[in-house]
Amino acid sequence: MNKCSIAEAMIYQLELTIEDGGLGFHGYGSPLVQIALHLAKRTHAPNIILVAGATYAVNPTPVFLTPTSNDAAMAIGAECTLDITELFDLAASGRMSRMFLSGLQIDGFGHLNVSRLGVDCLSLQLAGGGGGCNLSCDAQHLTLWTAAHRTEIDTQGKRRYR
Amino acid sequence: MYTATDKRCTLSELISHLKTGDCLAIGGGLSCREPMAALRELIRAGISDLTVIGSAHGIDVDMLCGVDVMAVSGESYVGFEHDFGMVVNFRRACEAGQVQARDNCCYTLVQQLRAAIMGLPFMPIRSVQGTSFMALHPEYKPMTCPFTGDKLVLVPALSPDVALLHAHYADNHGNLYIEGAPVADMLFAKAAKKTLVTVEKIISHAELQQKGITIPYFYVTSLCELPFGAHPTSCYPLYAYDRKHTEHYHQCAKQGAASFQADYLQHFVYDCTSHDDYLARVGGESRLSELQNWQHDWLRCYE
């Protein structure tokens, strides 16, 4: 019987949602999405325009994944590179076909919380959503994902969030 | 417009252009090409009450939050991604009310800077509507397009008082060459009232022309030659990200504000008599050589 990790299963499921052609973008801090896009590009979606978050490299062929996204290793083999203005202009004009977002909290309607916990009194400051607030509107097809429900329970019995 | 023929200065002279209460745009992003040496000098200079803006950042903004330097964060993201996760000083400062988090979004920031560059009072965007950002930023205004009837949002021009950048090469005049992802550096330089730059190496104009000019000299107020000025962030292809040092930084920050002050800031910021002294404290020639020779064993950089 074949076995795979939960991360590998998520990568596979994400990869299945990616159609060939169009422009697919992954932001930073999204290694599962990053690998899913590369997997799709190297299998059933060879014509997708893969733009890497942070480096804005187009169709890179990295040989390993770095723990930070704005690393030259992630831009190796790229056909060309965009910049922040051009990438977000493409999205705003309806030319970004695929994007993926996550958040600490996700409700049944697809609302994401990436900013803070606590309305009147701040109890947890989050890192922020990068360009998600723009791309959630501007990307043609959006997939929400989370790995948080699978994180291990820590010694205090609490879930750790990523 | 800055037309001096020789923009070179010392690090302390460079930072003297920055004033308490300024709006500061920090160049680079995440673990790449952030002007860390200049930020350490900014801390030593005792500048405070800064509003700091940018796209996605990490150790740079977090370090400023570890001292009483910032009043407002207008970043789109401050964190260590899947590397070390959430940054500690930023979170602690925001939750204590020391820093007000006024999150921005990447394209909103781009459009605000573009408005400033073009001398326009605002730019429209379609996104942000339906999110909590409209409440967080009452300065954003809804608008109905007179041509299409579409609902849009107007975001005001943003002209930072100072853009602080780190570049690969420059000439004496202030022409800059940046290799790899420019992040928002070109927008910052064109939108800001002053652009202050640390640079790995100052070379002749003829040599710089061969590489290409990323940012023309007249946007640049002053520049200071500072090899490894982005450490511990990367400045590829000259040197890689110093993950070991960043991990040490993160461990110090996790021990609490007082420990961070004593174990990190004191040793790597306040007690440093010069940038060379800092480089000696982070491992000197042998460590810097490892970072420079990343091509030989790139994966070792991430151990």
DSSP state of B139: T
Interface of B with A in 101-130 (CB under 8 A): 101, 103, 105-108, 110, 114, 125-130
A55, HSE (Cβ side, Cα atoms, 13 Å): 30
Q: Quote the ipTM score.
A: 0.95
* Digit-coded pLDDT (tens) for B258-302: 999 999 999 999 999 999 999 999 999 999 999 999 988 888 777
Q: What is the pLDDT of residue A7?
A: 87
Please tell me the distance in Å from A1's CA to the nearest CA on chain B.
Answer: 31
In this prediction, residues B158-168 reach a mean pLDDT of 98
Interface of B with A in 205-244 (CB under 8 A): 234, 236-237, 241, 243
Q: What is the pLDDT of residue A149?
A: 62
For B166, phi then psi, to 5°, come to -125, 125
Q: Of the given ranges (B131-135, B157-161, B167-171), which has the lowest mean pLDDT?
A: B131-135
Determine the Cα–Cα distance for residues B34 and A86; give it in Å rounded to an integer. 22
Architecture per CATH, A6-102+138-146: 3-Layer(aba) Sandwich (3.40)
Degrees to nearest 5, angle at CA B257 with B226 and A30: 70
Helix axes B243-254, B88-95, angle to 10 degrees: 30
In this prediction, residues B163-171 reach a mean pLDDT of 98
Judged by a CB distance cut-off of 8 A, whether residue B83 touches chain A is: yes
The amino acid sitting at A8 is E
Q: What is the pLDDT of residue A159?
A: 66
* Inter-chain residue contact A68 with B90, CB threshold 8 Å: no
**Average of per-residue pLDDT values in chain B:** 96
Q: What is the pLDDT of residue B287?
A: 95
Degrees to nearest 5, angle at CA A54 with B43 and B202: 55
- Whether B213 has a pLDDT exceeding 60, the answer reads yes
Q: What is the pLDDT of residue B4?
A: 98
* Residue in chain A lying closest to B91 (CA): A125
Q: What is the pLDDT of residue A150?
A: 58
* Inter-chain residue contact A72 with B234, CB threshold 8 Å: yes
* Digit-coded pLDDT (tens) for B37-54: 999 999 999 999 999 999
Determine the Cα–Cα distance for residues B180 and A39; give it in Å rounded to an integer. 25
Contact B27, B165 (CB under 8 A): yes
Q: Which helix (H) or strand (E) holds A12?
A: helix A6-16
Q: Domain segments of chain A: what residues? A: 6-102+138-146
- Domains, chain B, ordered by start: 11-103+159-292 (3.40.1080.10), 124-156 (no CATH)
Task: Return the residue in B127, B152, B239 with the most chain A beta carbons within 10 A, the one to mutate for interface testing.
Answer: B127
Residues of A in contact with B132 (CB under 8 A): 115
Residues of chain A with pLDDT under 70: 1, 148-151, 159-162
Q: What is the pLDDT of residue B72?
A: 98
* Digit-coded pLDDT (tens) for B81-108: 999 999 999 999 999 999 999 999 999 9
In this prediction, residues B159-183 reach a mean pLDDT of 97
A133 closest CB neighbour out of B79, B128, B237? B128
* Digit-coded pLDDT (tens) for B11-40: 999 999 999 999 999 999 999 999 999 999
* Inter-chain residue contact B299 with A64, CB threshold 8 Å: yes
For B242, phi then psi, to 5°, come to -90, 90
Q: What is the pLDDT of residue A15?
A: 96
